[in-house]
Amino acid sequence: MTSGLLVTKHHKLGLVAPSFAAIGWHVSELQADTDALGTFSGDVDRRHPPLETARRKALLAAGRPDVRWWFASEGTIGPSLGGLVSDRELVVAIEPRSGGMVAGAALSLAIVSIRLEVRWSTSEEEVVRACAGADLPRHHLVVSASDRSAAPVGALCDIDDVLDVIRQRRRRRRTLVLQTDLRSHLCPSRQPTIRAAAADLAARLATPCPACTRSGFGSIAPECGLPCAGCGQPTNEVSVRRRRCPWCMRVERKPVDQVTADAARCRWCNP
Ligand SMILES: [Zn+2]
Ligand SMILES: [Zn+2]
């Protein structure tokens, strides 16, 4: 049985292991302080892009070359187009023997995430209003000081506790930040997306490359430019789906079934 080790601080094994059990792999957990690579509450900066952060987390398993793969995950929560909050989750696998990496990803707009800067002038009514959109107590909140003059207080799931922490920590000229506690074990709206990223990774690892036979063959960004049915100009619609091997870089292209795009999607026919 292929074995893997998931480097995690916040008990993500239950989210990741089932997808690998489904392809006959056994994954166990390695507890490590991944917070050193950045936290959501902002008390430790993320210095690297998400994929690199995930890679560095997985490398914390470097003392364990006895397993076939080292796993780690990384989430990025941020505003996206239209004012919705997006949650992009990555789960990566590093092969210790080669140092090569395969990544799975998932994107969701169903994340619950609030953020309020609490200044000296911010009223408790404003805090209570912000909490109304926070889905308490299913989700939790964290209060941090933007100047990092005090450690964040997280896992708050009661408005009275939130107000108590804010009253204790308020100072003139100090801005507090009240936001959703996005640590995965406390954030149920992140969990399905982490599961989906793990499923994407498992599907890749279960798919051998048709050229070099190594596992990890999976989809990459498609080609766009399907011609318009009205005028024949290229549109932004997908024309070719692509899969690539992360080892030998073999790319397999599969044109979509449609030959033309609806003229309604054309910037010439329907500007
Ligand atoms: Zn290959
Ligand atoms: Zn057209």
Backbone angles phi, psi at 92, to 5 degrees: -120, 155
Write down the pLDDT at residue 40. Answer: 86
User: In the numeric block, which tokens belong to residue 80?
Assistant: 């996206």
Do 100 and 119 share a structural domain? no
Ligand nearest to the Cα of 268, by number: 2
Same domain, 13 and 67: yes
- What angle is formed at CA 39 by the lines to CA 34 and CA 43, rounded to 5 degrees? 120
271 is a domain residue: no
Nearest by Cα to 252 from 224, 201, 205, 217: 217
- Phi, psi dihedral angles at 243 (to 5 degrees): -125, 145
Average pLDDT, the chain: 94
Q: Per-residue pLDDT for 81 more than 70?
A: no
CB 9 within 8 A of CB 73: no
Centre of ligand 2 to C-alpha 97, Å, is 51
What whole-number distance in Å separates Cα of residue 245 and Cα of residue 243? 7
Bridge-based pairing of strands 3-8 and 26-31 is parallel
Looking at the domain assignment, is residue 213 inside a domain?
no
In this structure, are 126 and 74 located in the same domain?
A: no
Residue 268, both tokens: 């010439």
Other beta carbons less than 10 A from residue 159's beta carbon: 17
Distance CA 31, CA 235 (A): 48
Interhelix angle 13-21/191-205, rounded to 10 degrees, is 30
Between the CA of 23 and the centroid of ligand 2 the distance, in Å, is 45
To 10 degrees, the CA torsion angle through 130, 79, 109, 253? -170
Nearest ligand (C-alpha, residue 207): 1
In a domain, 162, yes or no: yes
- CA 251 to ligand 2 center in whole angstroms: 30
Domain identity same for 121 and 105: no
Domain that holds residue 196: 3-111+188-206
**138 and 42, same structural domain?**
no
- CA–centroid distance, 241 to ligand 2, in Å, is 22
Centroid of ligand 1 to alpha carbon of 75 (angstroms): 28
Ligand nearest to the CA of 210: 1
pLDDT of residue 188: 96
> pLDDT tier at 82 (50, 70, 90 boundaries)?
confident
- Higher-pLDDT residue of 39, 7: 7
Domain shared by 132 and 104, yes or no:
no
Residues 76 and 146 in one domain: no
Ligand lying nearest the CA atom of residue 261: 2
* 40 and 89 housed in the same domain: yes
Q: In angstroms, rounded to a whole number, what is the distance separating the alpha carbons of residues 121 and 202?
A: 50
Residues with CB under 5 A from ligand 1 (ion): 209, 211-212, 245, 247-248, 250
How many domains does the structure of the chain reveal? Answer: 3
Longest dimension (CA), the chain: 66
Distance in Å, CA 240 to ligand 2 centroid: 19
pLDDT tens digits, one per residue of 113-164: 999 999 999 999 999 999 999 999 999 999 999 888 888 999 999 999 999 9
**How far does residue 81's CA lie from ligand 2's centre (Å)?**
26
The count of other CB atoms within 10 Å of the CB of residue 248 is 13
